């Protein structure tokens, strides 16, 4: 009898120890929205990470830890780590989209759909959110990377978490670099479309090298300084200058291959 109790006691201690250990929890977030860079915070253990482009993540966790999933686009979700999660070492969750709905407001006269009568009902200038005193963004439309950078560097609360977490993980630096690369890429293609004919009419280059040449120009450290917000004449002078350098590199490669 005593032996049986001892066996049960040892088994219970073993089970308790196996569930109290810290594991690497592998998980995945599913959503109809973007699942990249969702904050995954182990509130109990004070650990955090972010999801990758596929929504996958890895975080340390123990039994009964509270895992919080949060992002601007989704409703916050808290999951308590149970024995099943510890056993499988995996966690798959689905997040709901965060919808910010406004009450319906009717401003001005109601239009009927009859063009003749509706024109006479329209009075004054069109209303905008600015005229109504509703806070709204009034600048140019942001790119996807610019929106992500804005999300990464802003946040509410007494101590905003987003700027701190993203600075530590390096995400803010990565997003700033991505925005610069996108700006350079857009500028390069714009210049190519506008000035290719003028450039190559006087300075011919075989067609198979044209795209490679423009990427060569894109990679120059003074590309943005010499080409952004500059006149076409100044940009064309810069392209001719870099074309001579590029042709020199081609001739050097051809010479080495012939040797």
pLDDT for 159 equals 52
DSSP 66-132: EEEEEETTEEEEEEE--HHHHHHTEEEEE--B----------SPPP-S-HHHHHHH--SSPP-TTTT
Q: Are 55 and 35 in contact (CB under 8 A)?
A: yes
Is the pLDDT reported for residue 44 higher than 70? yes
The model scores a pTM over 0.85: no
The domain limits of the chain are 21-94, 176-258
Q: Which CATH number does the domain 21-94 belong to among 2.60.40.10, 2.40.110.10, 2.40.50.140, 3.30.1540.20?
A: 2.60.40.10
Q: For 152-196, how does the pLDDT look when each residue is reduced to its tens digit (9 = 90+)?
A: 666 544 455 566 666 666 767 776 777 777 888 888 889 999 999
CA–CA gap between residue 210 and residue 80 (Å, rounded): 57
Q: Are 161 and 155 in contact (CB under 8 A)?
A: yes
Once rounded to an integer, what is the mean pLDDT over residues 111-119?
A: 51
Once rounded to an integer, what is the mean pLDDT over residues 47-57?
A: 89
């Amino acid at each position: 009898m005593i032996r049986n109790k001892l066996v049960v006691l040892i088994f219970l201690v073993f089970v308790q120890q196996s569930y109290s250990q810290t594991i690497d929890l592998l998980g995945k977030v599913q959503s109809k929205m973007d699942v990249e860079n969702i904050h995954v915070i182990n509130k109990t253990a004070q650990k955090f990470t972010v999801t990758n482009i596929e929504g996958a993540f890895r975080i340390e966790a123990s039994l009964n830890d509270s895992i919080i999933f949060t992002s601007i686009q989704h409703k916050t979700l808290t999951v308590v780590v149970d024995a099943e999660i510890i056993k499988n070492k995996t966690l798959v969750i689905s997040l709901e989209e965060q919808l910010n709905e406004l009450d319906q407001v009717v401003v001005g006269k109601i239009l009927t759909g009859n063009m003749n009568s509706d024109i006479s009902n329209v009075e004054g200038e069109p209303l905008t959110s600015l005229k109504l005193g509703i806070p709204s963004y009034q600048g140019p439309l942001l790119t996807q990377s610019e929106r992500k950078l804005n999300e990464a560097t802003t946040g509410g609360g007494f101590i905003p978490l987003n700027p701190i977490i993203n600075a530590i993980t390096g995400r803010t630096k990565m997003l700033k670099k991505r925005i610069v690369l996108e700006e350079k890429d857009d500028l390069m293609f714009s210049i190519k479309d506008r000035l290719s004919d003028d450039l190559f009419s006087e300075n011919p280059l075989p067609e198979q090298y044209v795209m490679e040449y423009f990427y060569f120009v894109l990679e120059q450290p003074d590309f943005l300084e010499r080409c952004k917000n500059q006149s076409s004449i100044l940009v064309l002078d810069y392209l001719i200058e870099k074309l001579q350098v590029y042709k020199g590199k081609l001739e050097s490669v051809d010479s080495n291959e012939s040797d």
